[in-house]
Structure 1
Amino acid sequence: MKIAEMNWSQVEAYLKRDDRAVLPLGSTEQHAGLSLSVDSILSEKVALDAAEPLGVPVFPVLAYGITPYFLDYPGSISLRNATYIAIIRDILDGMARQGFKRILICNGHGGNNPAGSLAIEWMADNPGVQVKFHNWWNAPKTFAKVQEIDSVASHASWMENFAWTRLPGVTQPTQRKPMIDLAYMRVLDPAGVRKYLGDGNFGGHYERPDTDMQAIWDVAVAETRALLEEGWA
Structure 2
Amino acid sequence: MPSTAPGPSTVPGPVAGSEEIRLQLRSWPEVEAYLAHCRGVIVPLGSTEQHGPTGAIGTDALTAEAVALEVGRRTGVLVTPAQAFGMAEHHLGFAGTISLQPSTLLAVLHDVVLSLARHGFERIYVINGHGGNIATARAAFAQAYGTAAARGLPGAERLRCRLANWFTAGPVMREARDRYGEREGHHATPSEIALTLHLEPSLTAKQRPLPEAAPAGPIHGPEDFRRRHPDGRMGSDPFLATADDGARFLELAATALSEDLAAFLGPEGDAG
Q: What is the TM-score normalised by the length of structure 2?
A: 0.78
What's the CA shift string for 1:152-171, capped at 9, x where partnerless? 21311311113225654743
Q: Tell me, what secondary structure is at the counterpart of 1:12?
A: helix
Answering whether residue 23 of structure 2 is matched by residue 10 of structure 1, we say no
Whichever residue aligns with residue 170 of structure 2, its letter is: P
Report the equivalent of 1:26: 46
Q: Tell me, what secondary structure is at the counterpart of 2:86?
A: coil
Structure 1: how far apart are the matches of 2:145 and 2:247? 35
Report the equivalent of 1:216: 249
Report the equivalent of 1:116: 138
Q: 1:210 to 1:177 in 2, by over 3 A?
A: same
Structure 1: how far apart are the matches of 2:233 and 2:181? 15
8 A contact 2:24–2:81 mirrored in 1: yes
Percent of aligned pairs with the same residue?
Answer: 27
Report the equivalent of 2:230: 198
Q: Bigger shift: 91-100 or 145-154?
A: 145-154
Whichever residue aligns with residue 212 of structure 1, its letter is: D
Report the equivalent of 2:79: 58
Whichever residue aligns with residue 142 of structure 1, its letter is: V
8 A contact 2:215–2:235 mirrored in 1: yes
Structure 1: how far apart are the matches of 2:106 and 2:90? 18
Q: Bigger shift: 158-167 or 15-24?
A: 158-167
Report the equivalent of 2:157: 127
What's the CA shift string for 1:69-108, capped at 9, x where partnerless? 1112111111111111111111100000001111101111
Q: 1:165 to 1:210 in 2, by over 3 A?
A: closer
Q: What is the TM-score normalised by the length of structure 1?
A: 0.90
Q: Tell me, what secondary structure is at the counterpart of 2:206?
A: coil
Report the equivalent of 2:261: 228
Structure 1: how far apart are the matches of 2:200 and 2:191? 11
Answering whether residue 176 of structure 2 is matched by residue 150 of structure 1, we say no
8 A contact 1:119–1:133 mirrored in 2: no
Report the equivalent of 1:36: 57
Structure 2: how far apart are the matches of 1:227 and 1:72? 36
8 A contact 2:214–2:229 mirrored in 1: no
Whichever residue aligns with residue 260 of structure 2, its letter is: L
Larger Rg: 2
Whichever residue aligns with residue 165 of structure 2, its letter is: N
Q: 1:169 to 1:137 in 2, by over 3 A?
A: closer
Report the equivalent of 2:166: 136
8 A contact 1:69–1:193 mirrored in 2: yes
Q: 1:166 to 1:201 in 2, by over 3 A?
A: farther
Unmatched runs of 5 consecutive residues or more in structure 2:
1-20, 150-155
Q: 1:148 to 1:169 in 2, by over 3 A?
A: closer
Q: 1:78 to 1:225 in 2, by over 3 A?
A: same
8 A contact 1:34–1:167 mirrored in 2: no
Structure 1: how far apart are the matches of 2:71 and 2:166? 11
Q: Bigger shift: 33-42 or 204-213?
A: 204-213
8 A contact 2:107–2:140 mirrored in 1: no
8 A contact 2:48–2:98 mirrored in 1: yes
Q: Bigger shift: 189-198 or 49-58?
A: 189-198
8 A contact 1:176–1:204 mirrored in 2: no
Comparing both structures, which one devotes a greater share of its residues to helix? 2
In the comparison of the two structures, how many residue pairs are matched? 230
Unmatched runs of 5 consecutive residues or more in structure 1:
none
Structure 2: how far apart are the matches of 1:18 and 1:8? 15
Structure 2: how far apart are the matches of 1:213 and 1:147? 14
8 A contact 2:166–2:253 mirrored in 1: yes
Whichever residue aligns with residue 41 of structure 1, its letter is: L
Task: After TM superposition, give the deviation of residue 175 of structure 1 in Å.
Answer: 4.4
Q: Tell me, what secondary structure is at the counterpart of 1:30?
A: coil
